[in-house]
Amino acid sequence: MTRRMKWIQLGVLAALIVLLPLLFPSGYYYRVGALIFVNALSVVGLVILIGYAGQISLGHAGFAGIGAYACALAPEHLGLHPGLAVLLGAGISGVMALLIGRPILRLKGYYLAVATLGFGILVSMVLTNERALTGGPDGMVVADPGLRDLLRDLGLRLSGGELWYGVSGLVLLVGAWIALNLLDSPTGRAMRALHGSEVAAATVGIDVAAQKLRAFVISAVYASVAGSLLALQNQYVTPDVAGFLHSVEMVTMAVLGGVGSVLGATLGAAILTLLPQVLTVFAEYEQLVLGAVMIGVMIFLPQGLLPSIARRLRGTSE
Amino acid sequence: MSLLEVSGLGISFGGLRAVEDVSFSVSPGEIVSVIGPNGAGKTTLFNMISGIYRPGRGSVRLNGQDVTATAPHLLARMGLSRTFQNLQIFQEMTVLDNVLAGYHLTERGPVWADLLALPSMRRRAAEVRRGARDLLARVRLDKAAEQEAGSLSYGALKRLEIARALALGPKILLLDEPAAGCNAVETEEIDHLIAELAASGIAILLVEHDMKLVMRISSHIVVLDHGQKIAEGDPATVSRNPAVIAAYLGTDAPTEDPAHADG
């Protein structure tokens, strides 16, 4: 992975974000695009955790929930600007990940998956049951951060869809840039090394537990920021954002697209965000088709869509 | 003064005494070999010294400091490095990245510098990259630098492990069967490399089945059988020791070599 590869990938992503609107038949698609970018952001975080460091989390939606509800609650109760609430949510998510990961990641094996599963359910239960604070299962309204008004004062008139398409796309680009920086850095190499062999990584001086913890905390912050963006653009949150299904969806997107690849993650997010909309023609068989697609990909393209396709194109298919 | 001092080291697995009361020492520039029949406890001994197993009895001292049961990544910081009998390669990384991972202690910095690709990291990265390529040239893998490590032959991976272990600039290097699966030419190359490393002042602790190699390069040999040290001394002394001949070399020793050469 050279520096040149990093800029090519970022270039491709930037070009897609800028050029796709030319194909949009209506303003509605800006909403869909923004949703894809938000999903892709949390999946890029999972690429760091699963793809680089080889650890599985089944509760990352919990961090998305923290990010989302930080944007809903902090402006109302603390008088914080929604923009700062994003940072507050990211901070809380990072600290939570640290507290959960520190004892768990000393152990080898699947303990992280089980612990995060519990964490995700816990967050989702709190959000559902603390009615007085969160509005319960009905959710709550999120204050407008005033970004649109600010831009209008600066002479840029955007629809809500266009604005959040741009903001989400920009944040995704930054997230992808950071993940690609990490890939070809000492920390990223240490993560990939322990993924390959924990014992060999330790013998070259890599603190295996500490590097796993780093990956977990970083990916939690990604999920949190994605949750915040979702809350801000919908101007509404429900506990579903922290639900178990959302956690599974994130992991599925990552694995479908190619869990070691930032661009693959984006592709996985795009497909699984769009597919349910396309598959509505199958009516009640929608879930069935979705499941079949997943099984097919795992059997025929086990490394995920993008890496497998890239390998075929290079002619080095195994 | 000796760099590594092992005294009375022992470990049991479920009542089986895998290694029992083994003592020896290694000085800078010295090549000490541990030999013995399969299952004698050589690799177990290595795993205790390098912190992978916690010894049940005895102690390991590195540079005069007690490091018994110290975690491997902390031992690496103190200059102890090793290779593995059953390869432990980062298969999905390139050959160059495998060696770069070996430079972890040299090139690691604050995590935000990595996340933001700060320019301060770049100069160090360039230096480390040059060092890694030099090491690859030394084990004749420079042409394969950009290949995925998993695509290399067994003998090449053995050499890659040595390069990775050297990347952290060790004071003492533990080599677990570095010549296993290598042909005669490769074995001779590894032979030269080990001698060179020792000459540069690195202490070498070696487990090897290739007796010709062991007899040729060792300054001192420790013989294990059933987890116990049954003899030690210079190659000439050890090869004449009746207990060693009975336990390991045996009467049909020469047939051992080809059997292991294609390992």
Looking at per-residue pLDDT, the higher value among A195 and B120 belongs to A195
Instruction: Give the closest-approach CA distance of B145 to chain A in angstroms.
Output: 12
Query: How many domains in chain A?
Result: 1
Tokens coding A258: 């190619």
pLDDT recorded at residue B6: 96
> pLDDT band for position A25 (50/70/90)?
confident
Q: Could you give the CA distance from residue A229 to residue A241 in angstroms, rounded to a whole number?
A: 12
Question: Looking at the structure, do residues B124 and B16 belong to the same domain, yes or no?
Answer: no
The reply to whether residue A204 touches residue B165, judged by beta carbons under 8 angstroms, is yes
- Residue among B84, B100, B104 whose CB faces A205 most closely: B104
Q: Are A231 and A69 in contact (CB under 8 A)?
A: yes
Q: Cα-flanking dihedrals φ and ψ of residue B92, to 5°?
A: -90, 0
Of the listed ranges B104-118, B150-164, B169-183, B246-260, the one predicted with least confidence: B246-260
Cα separation, A43 vs A271, in Å, equals: 12
> Is B85 part of a structural domain of the chain?
no
Within a domain: A253: no
Q: Is A3 a residue whose pLDDT tops 90?
A: no
pLDDT score at A147:
86
Distance CA B177, CA A276 (A): 55
Cα distance from A244 to chain B (closest Cα, Å)?
29
pLDDT at residue B52 above 90? yes
Q: Does residue B174 share a domain with residue B74?
A: yes
The distance of A204 to chain B (nearest Cα, Å) reads 5
In a domain, residue B86? The reply is no
The answer to whether the CB of A194 falls within 8 A of the CB of A201 is yes
pLDDT at A55 over 80: yes
Classify residue A309: in a domain, yes or no. Answer: no
Residues of B in contact with A205 (CB under 8 A): 73, 76-77, 104-105, 168
Q: How many domains does chain B have?
A: 2
> Do the Cβ atoms of B114 and A187 come within 8 Å?
yes
Query: CB of A225 within 8 A of CB of A92?
Result: no
Residues B106 and B34 in one domain: no
A258: in domain: no
Would the CB atoms of B104 and A218 count as touching at under 8 Å? no
Beta bridge partners of B228: B20, B225
Give long-range contacts, CB 8 A cutoff, 24+ apart: B191-194.
B191/B216, B191/B217, B193/B138, B193/B139, B193/B162, B194/B31
Question: Do B161 and B243 belong together in one domain?
Answer: no
pLDDT at B259 over 50: no
Query: What integer pLDDT is reported at residue B96 of this predicted model?
Result: 96
Backbone angles phi, psi at B23, to 5 degrees: -130, 140
- Judge if B10 and B114 occupy the same domain: no
Contacts of A181 in chain B (CB under 8 A): 114-117
**Closest residue of A to B91, CA-based?**
A196
pLDDT at B254: 46
Q: Residue A316: what pLDDT?
A: 52
CB contact under 8 A, B89 and A188: no
Phi, psi of A150 (to 5 degrees): -60, -45
**CA B255 to chain centroid:** 25
Average pLDDT of B201-223? 93
Dist CA A178 CA A168 (whole Å) = 15
Higher-confidence position of A206 and A153 = A206
Query: Which residue matches tokens 């042409």?
Result: B143
Residues of A in contact with B111 (CB under 8 A): 187, 214
pLDDT tens, residue by residue, B91-137 = 999 999 999 999 999 989 899 999 998 888 888 888 999 999 999 99
Whole-number pLDDT of residue A311: 79
Q: Percent of chain B, pLDDT > 90? A: 70
Buried b / exposed e along A256-270 (16+ C-beta atoms within 10 A): bbbbbbbbbbbbbbb
Report residue B251's pLDDT band, with 50, 70 and 90 as the boundaries: low
Claim to verify: residue B138 and residue B263 sit in the same structural domain: no
Interface test with B, best of A174, A180, A182, A185 (most B CBs within 10 A): A185
Domain-ending residue, one of B136, B169, B202? B169
Check if the beta carbon of residue A225 is closer than 8 Å to that of residue A93. no
Q: Which residues, 6 or more positions from B85, have their beta carbon under 8 angstroms from its beta carbon?
A: B43, B176, B177, B180, B207
Apex CA B155: angle with CA B150 and CA B157, to 5°? 35
Q: What range defines the domain where residue A207 resides?
A: 3-16+28-244
Residue B139, domain extent: 91-169
Q: Average per-residue pLDDT in chain A?
A: 91
Q: What is the pLDDT of residue A267?
A: 93
Closest Cα of chain B to A51: distance in Å? 11
User: ipTM, 2 decimals?
Assistant: 0.89
The answer to whether residue B84 is domain-embedded is no
User: Do residue B180 and residue B251 come from a single domain?
Assistant: yes
Same domain membership, residue B240 and residue B203? yes
Q: Which residues from A are below 8 Å from B50, CB to CB?
A: 203
CATH number at residue B199: 3.40.50.300
Asked whether residue A301 is domain-assigned, the answer is no
Q: What is the pLDDT of residue A97?
A: 97
pLDDT digits (tens, 9 = 90+) for A228-249: 999 999 999 999 999 999 999 9
Tell me which chain B residues have a C-beta less than 8 angstroms from the C-beta of A178.
115-116
Check whether residue B135 and residue B19 sit in a common domain: no
Are B13 and B34 members of one domain?
A: yes
Six token digits for residue A228: 């915040």
Share the mean pLDDT of chain B. 90
Question: What's the confidence (pLDDT) of residue A144?
Answer: 87
Mean pLDDT of B168-192: 90
**B71 chain-A contacts, CB cut-off 8 A:** 202
pLDDT confidence of residue A299: 87
pLDDT in tens, B6-19: 999 999 998 888 99
Is pLDDT above 60 for B262?
A: no
Sign of CA dihedral B101, B106, B112, B113: negative
Domain assignment of residue A182, yes or no = yes
pLDDT tens readout for residues A158-187:
888 999 999 999 999 999 999 999 999 999
User: Does residue B210 carry a pLDDT above 90?
Assistant: no
Q: Chain B residues contacting A, CB < 8 Å? A: 50-52, 71-73, 75-77, 81-82, 84, 88-93, 97-98, 100-105, 107-109, 111, 114-117, 121, 164-165, 167-168
Domain boundary among B134, B169, B204: B169
Whether B121 and B59 map to the same domain: the answer is: no
- Domain assignment present for B69: yes
Task: Give the whole-angstrom CA distance, residue A145 versus residue A140.
Answer: 15
Per-residue DSSP letter, B40: S
Residues B96 and B70 in one domain: no
Measured between alpha carbons, how far is A266 from A43 in angstroms, rounded to an integer?
7
Q: Is the pLDDT of residue A315 over 70?
A: no
B98-126 in b/e form (b: 16+ CB < 10 A) is bbbbbbbbbbbeebebbbebeeebeebbe
Q: With an 8 Å Cβ cutoff, are A200 and B88 in contact?
A: yes
